[in-house]
């Protein structure tokens, strides 16, 4: 940690060297400091409570970092401020949830703008996780709607993994992060680069737009490939399946008895499932039939017309009889869509069981 405390000092030396260029020993000290501070791109947020230093992961998550750096340095065009004007200066910590996150990044302008006027896709790098306090992430209104708002975690929250871009971590000033309350401000945001690779990471409006265009094209191609792979998987798994009007494929593996349920009927149900693409498995839990990564499915009560799981299960369950076992394939639009299904760890914290845009295979049984 002693090394990291030298980062703010770097700015002092830079300023001193600029004001007093004849003092060459100061310039030498800069190179000496570089040896002790890890190479990288750092953002120093000068708040009314003190300084927070962020280490930005420009190598693994270059687009999100380019967005943050470009806005901070005023090199990206946006609808809130003129080109050349630092974007985050004066921003308010407008959302603070104790034990969860602090959030900022709205421009300090006198209108209703909540972002820069553009959006860019999620940038999820495998292995990065919201597994501790001090993780820096992009806030958004859904997949691929990132703008300028960002947050810092106050604890570990793995249910954010895969949903919100991680692009850095608090390198110094976690004590300041914990002091932030709603309404506190970012007086200024300063970017410093240490090392050759970091120094070469320059952000222009053109370079950022190319990153965004390339990312959007990749999202489009990934979606097209996923749809193609799902069509092939449907043919392989259930080639002779019946289909509901909403597009849910199904096979009745065991016929049931009695009449179909009516509004208010209480069903005792269990299911097991897996991803249509891939091998990840899940099963029903006692709590309203929510899925989790348990080995054996648990039974749960499903009240027709009241209990809601997802569109596919809600539609199929009211069409089944007592004792019936049915295998279904629910494409993502009929499963959880852009949303996620969450499970719980032993400590009660949630994590992602089923990520957005995942098509599912279920085997469902109504016991009584």
Q: pLDDT tens-digit profile of 56-112?
A: 999 999 999 999 999 999 999 999 999 999 999 999 999 999 999 999 999 988 776
Q: What is the mean pLDDT of residues 14-43?
A: 52
Q: What class has domain 227-366?
A: alpha beta
pLDDT of residue 35: 52
Structure tokens that stand for 100 in this block = 């969860």
CA distance 93 to 34: 31
Assess whether the region 38-215 and the region 227-366 belong to the same CATH fold.
no
Label residue 36 by pLDDT band (50, 70, 90). low
pLDDT of residue 97: 97
Q: pLDDT tens-digit profile of 103-160?
A: 999 998 877 678 999 999 999 999 999 999 999 999 998 889 999 999 999 999 999 9
Q: What is the mean pLDDT of the chain?
A: 88
Q: Where are the domains of the chain?
A: 38-215, 227-366
pLDDT of residue 11: 40
Domain spanning 38-215: CATH 3.90.1170.50: no
Alpha-carbon torsion (145, 149, 150, 154), positive or negative: negative
DSSP, res 29 = H
Name the region of 50 (left: φ>0; alpha: ψ -120 to 50; beta: rest).
left
* φ and ψ of 47, to 5 deg: -95, 170
CA distance 214 to 211: 5
Q: In sequence order, what are the residues at sequence separation of 6 or more whose Cβ sits closer than 8 angstroms to the Cβ of residue 219?
A: 121, 144
Q: pLDDT tens-digit profile of 185-205?
A: 999 999 999 999 999 999 999
pLDDT of residue 28: 32
CA distance 274 to 291: 10
Structure tokens that stand for 109 in this block = 């302008």
Task: Round to the nearest angstrom and report the end-to-end CA distance of the chain.
Answer: 61
Diameter over CA atoms, the chain: 94
DSSP, res 102 = E
The reported pTM is 0.82
């Amino acid at each position: 940690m002693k090394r990291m405390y030298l980062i703010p000092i770097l700015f002092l030396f830079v300023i001193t060297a600029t004001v007093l260029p004849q003092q060459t020993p100061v310039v030498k000290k800069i190179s000496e400091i570089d040896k002790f501070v890890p190479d990288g791109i750092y953002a120093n947020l000068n708040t009314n409570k003190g300084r927070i230093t962020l280490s930005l992961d420009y190598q693994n998550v270059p687009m999100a970092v380019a967005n943050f750096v470009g806005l901070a340095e005023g090199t990206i065009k946006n609808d809130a401020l003129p080109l050349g004007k630092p974007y985050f200066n004066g921003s308010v910590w407008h959302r603070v949830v104790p034990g969860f996150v602090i959030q900022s990044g709205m421009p300090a302008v006198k209108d209703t703008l909540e972002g820069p006027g553009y959006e860019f896709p999620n940038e999820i790098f495998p292995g990065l996780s919201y597994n501790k306090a001090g993780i820096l992430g992009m806030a958004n209104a859904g997949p691929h709607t990132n703008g300028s708002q960002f947050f810092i975690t106050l604890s570990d929250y793995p249910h954010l993994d895969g949903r919100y871009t991680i692009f850095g971590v608090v390198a110094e000033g976690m004590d300041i992060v914990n002091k932030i309350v709603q309404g506190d401000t970012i007086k200024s945001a300063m970017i410093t680069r240490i090392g050759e690779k970091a120094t070469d990471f320059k952000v222009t409006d053109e370079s950022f737009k190319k990153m965004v265009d390339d990312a959007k094209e990749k999202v489009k191609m990934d979606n097209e490939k996923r749809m193609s792979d799902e069509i092939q998987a449907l043919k392989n798994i259930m080639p002779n399946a019946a289909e509901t009007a909403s597009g849910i494929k199904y096979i009745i593996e065991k016929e049931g008895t009695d009449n179909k349920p009516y509004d208010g009927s209480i069903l005792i149900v269990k299911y097991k499932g897996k991803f249509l693409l891939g091998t990840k498995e899940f099963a029903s839990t006692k709590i309203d039939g929510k899925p989790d990564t348990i080995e054996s499915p648990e039974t749960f009560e499903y009240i027709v017309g009241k209990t809601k799981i997802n569109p596919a299960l809600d539609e199929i369950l009211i069409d089944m009889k007592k004792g019936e076992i049915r295998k279904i394939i629910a494409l993502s639009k009929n499963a959880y869509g852009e949303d996620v299904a969450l499970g719980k760890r032993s400590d009660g914290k949630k994590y992602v069981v089923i990520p957005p845009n995942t098509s599912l295979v279920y085997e469902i049984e109504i016991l009584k």
